[in-house]
Amino acid sequence: MGTVEDPGVSSSQKLTLRGATFLGIGAMVGAGIFALLGQAGVYAGAAVWVSFLLAGLMSAALGYTMVKFGVRYPSSGGLIVYLREGYRSRRVVGAAAWLGYLTAIVVVGAMVAVSFGDYAADLFLNADPGGPWSKVFGALLVVLATWMTIAGPRAVDRIQSLIVVALLAVFVVFILGTVGGLHAHLLAPSGYPPAGDIISSVALTFFAFLGFAVISFAAGDLARPKHDLPRAMYLALGATTALYVAVALCVFGTLTVDKVIHYGPTAIAEAARPSLGEAGFLMMAIAALLATASSVTATLYASVGLTDALAEFRYFPPVFGPTSRIGRHGGLLITAGLTLLFVTVLSLGALASVGSAVSLAVFTLVAVAAFRMRDELGASTSMVIAAIGVSVVVLVGFSIDLFINDRRSFWVMIALVGLALIVDEIWARHVESSHPAQPPA
């Protein structure tokens, strides 16, 4: 663990800086900008652009802690390796591992695949969102993304780069085409909700940035992780934040808050109609397909390093690792199978909030670990404390808001944490009884 470069892997097979940056952008953009505008509007109204800006800044602070860990421990195990080094506690890391895996990988991948299915069913078959065809298209995407991930990091690099370049070009056309027709009164601060509501919405818009963690899993595939990892992280977060803010301004400056909430995932496409016509709607629908396809691929790619590390450290059963009975891609295949299961039963509403809040809790644990190891990592104390403080404020505020306004989602979140603790406890006892002389961590 922690070698800068694997001598058994040629540099031609490594992930490039461009590829890692595009991998992060692709993971983030597909994860939320299409699905979350309407839901974020419920909390923040026309101030969603502020919410995205704050979420981007918070992600950058958390990304700083991951970069410091990644440079010190360049590994495809990503944040699990960081938690392991930071806590040396099997219980803490094990519970966080199950939580992170279930939310940041399986739930996020399934939600984005379902969003892809909705757009594909509407675009190709004029079918209603959430119907059988949405499930079919979503499942097909998971299968294709799994196949591409098996092809290796260079294949992911090339395809993700092509998708992200096309996606960014489409968004530039959308922004330039709509910015001239914005209605200033729709964005007037006098119509913004209270600051507390905007702060609460940051935990939800943070969901659109969850893909930044994917870059940490790419550290083991980078030829020069100390040079490339920080640049990939900050370039991806900077570009994505700027894109989200611009898109939010264009959408909420074109449509009323009520209309954005009503249109939900297709709000961006609807916002393109007034200035770009039906061609604009079609263009943004295709962009949604590209974005969601890119995000699912990046999420499954991240699952490979994650499950390999979890199996190696015995936080997960060996079937998730490269020595799995179902082959060296066992972890990827299990993740794809679980994602397919969620695709068939998932509702996009409440789980966006739950997945975002639980993932933020896991990332906050990484930031606390960075504080504990700040001298060894060469991390700025003030930066790490800022990352922890902002994350805790947003997480607590959002949890309180869920308890007051969406009690069902709040208890689902608590149940998910409880499930992770129970599963980890059962597996930990099995490992300890099987290897009494060799504790797992």
CB 331 within 8 A of CB 247: no
According to the per-residue pLDDT averaged within each range, which of 2-16, 60-74, 107-121 is highest?
Answer: 60-74
Percentage of residues in the chain having pLDDT higher than 70: 90
* Tens of pLDDT, residues 326-373: 877 888 899 999 899 888 875 555 556 677 778 888 888 989 999 999
Q: What is the mean pLDDT of residues 76-85?
A: 78
Query: Among 306, 325, 323, 324, which residue's Cα sits nearest to residue 315?
Result: 306
The pLDDT of residue 57 = 93
Burial class (CB in 10 A: 0-12, 13-18, 19+), 385: middle
Q: In 3-state terms, what secondary structure has residue 271?
A: helix
Amino acid 321: pLDDT: 83
In this prediction, residue 348 carries a pLDDT of 56
CATH architecture entry for 13-432: Up-down Bundle (1.20)
Alpha-helical regions (H) of 101-131:
108-125
- In angstroms, the CA 88 to CA 338 distance is 29
* Residues β-bridged to residue 439: none
Task: Please tell me the distance from the alpha carbon of residue 182 to that of residue 45, in angstroms, as a whole number.
Answer: 16
Closest CA to 253 of 54, 41, 53, 43: 41
- Rounded Cα–Cα distance for residues 203 and 396 (Å): 10
294-335 per-position pLDDT tens digit: 888 878 887 888 888 888 888 888 888 887 778 778 888 999
> Would you state the pLDDT for residue 143?
93
| Nearest to 57, CA basis, from 189, 191, 244, 192 | 244
Average pLDDT rounded to a whole number, residues 170-176: 89
Neighbours of 149 (CB within 10 A): 24
Helix axes 267-312, 153-179, angle to 10 degrees: 160
Decide if 198 contacts 51 (C-beta within 8 A).
yes
304 vs 60: CA distance, rounded Å: 24
Q: Biggest alpha carbon distance in the chain?
A: 69
Band (pLDDT 50/70/90 cuts) for residue 56 is very high
Burial grade of 191 (CB within 10 A; 0-12, 13-18, 19 or more): middle
Token pair for 209: 């940035």
pTM, full prediction: 0.77
Query: Which one has a higher pLDDT value, 159 or 86?
Result: 86
Residues in the chain: 441
Distance CA 281, CA 312 (A): 47
Q: How confident is residue 3, by pLDDT bands cut at 50, 70 and 90?
A: very low
- pLDDT tens digit string along 374-399? 999 998 999 999 999 988 988 888 78
Distance from C-alpha of 251 to C-alpha of 46, rounded to nearest angstrom: 9
- Predicted confidence at residue 245, as pLDDT, reads 94
| Cβ-contact 283, 173 below 8 angstroms | yes
Residue 14 confidence class, pLDDT cut points 50, 70, 90: low
Give me the residues paired with residue 158 across strands: none
Nearest of 99, 115, 102 to residue 32 by alpha carbon? 115
Name the burial class of residue 117, with classes exposed (0-12), middle (13-18) and buried (19+) by CB atoms within 10 angstroms of its CB: buried
The tokens describing 279, both together, are 């061609």
3-class secondary structure, 334 = helix
Lowest pLDDT segment from 14-23, 266-275, 358-367: 14-23
- Over residues 23-37, the mean pLDDT reads 74
Backbone angles phi, psi at 222, to 5 degrees: -85, 135
Q: State the Cα–Cα distance between residues 148 and 336, nearest whole angstrom.
A: 12
pLDDT computed for residue 192 by the predictor: 92
* % of the chain at pLDDT higher than 90: 20
Among the ranges given (226-235, 245-254, 413-422), the one the predictor scored with the smallest mean pLDDT: 413-422
CA-CA distance, 385 to 373, in Å (whole number)?
12
Q: Who has greater pLDDT, 31 or 46?
A: 46
Looking at residue 181, its pLDDT comes to 85
Task: Measure CA 400 to chain center.
Answer: 23
Tokens of 338: 């679980």
Angle ∠(396,397,401) on CA atoms, nearest 5: 115
Residue 10: Cβ within 10 Å count: 9
Is residue 173 pLDDT above 70, yes or no?
A: yes
* Annotated domain spans of the chain: 13-432
pLDDT at position 323: 78
Mean pLDDT, the chain, integer: 82
Lowest mean pLDDT among 13-22, 115-124, 194-203, 387-396: 13-22
- Band the pLDDT of 5: cuts 50, 70, 90: very low
Rg over alpha carbons for the chain, rounded to the nearest Å, is 21
Yes or no: say if 23 and 298 are a contact pair by the CB < 8 Å rule. Answer: yes
Reported confidence tier of residue 153, pLDDT bands at 50, 70, 90: low
Q: Provide the pLDDT for residue 30.
A: 62
Distance from C-alpha of 96 to C-alpha of 15, rounded to nearest angstrom: 27
Higher-pLDDT residue of 76 and 383 is 383
Given a cut of 70, whether residue 286 has pLDDT beyond it is yes
Identity of residue 53? L
pLDDT at 441 over 50: no
